[in-house]
Homo-oligomer: A and B are copies of this chain.
Amino acid sequence: MRDGDRLKKNRRSASSSVARSAWPAFLTAHAVLVSEVERRLKEAELPELAWYDVLWALERAPKRRLRMHELADAVVVSRSNLTRLADRLESNGLVSRERCDDDRRSSFAVLTDAGSEMRKRMWPVYRAAIEELFDDHLSADEQASLRAVLQRLLEAAAKAAAPQ
């Protein structure tokens, strides 16, 4: 059997003081959904999700470029990891680097046309997966309240992580 066949079950069943917490379900749902999305991208011979994130962040940015640390924040990835990720994207021609004139310590990651094309090729597959695995099972109300809840958690975490 290949390792691709996996992540299909949920055996979590909380049993103590977090018995009513949605946290275990949150972790499991994320793992299962993301791995299924990744499976579909791979099946379509497309790059992984992290690449999409970077390409999309650059696409939205002014002049299709971001400083490396801005990009790292945008895609929620560590600095050194992003350097390596950008290396791979660059060697595949999807991103290029440019010097930053006002602050020469910094460098820009710039989306290339090929990068933009790749994102457009990935999107239908990614969108279909999101719809089929996520959106189709939630009402508009549920989407809205889920977003609100997640947003709240995100803001709280930002405070908790950087108190000073």
Contact = CB atoms under 8 A, between A and B. Distances in A.
A154 interface: yes
Interface string A134-147: 11111111111111
B158 A26 contact: no
Interface residues of A, number: 73
Contacts of A31: 76
B76 A157 contact: no
Contact of A146 (B80, B134, B140, B149): B149
Nearest to A29: B150
Interface string A10-28: 1111010110111101111
Interface stretch (A32-40, A96-104, A108-116): A32-40
A8 B60 CA distance: 20
Interface of A: 1, 3, 5-13, 15, 17-18, 20-23, 25-36, 39, 57, 60, 72-74, 76-81, 127, 130-147, 149-154, 156-158, 160-162
Given A9-B158, A25-B151, A133-B153, 16 more contacts: A10-B139, A21-B130, A22-B146, A26-B134, A26-B146, A27-B30, A28-B150, A29-B151, A29-B157, A30-B30, A32-B157, A33-B153, A36-B161, A132-B160, A138-B149, A146-B149
A139 B33 contact: no
Contacts of A39: 161
A131 B36 contact: no
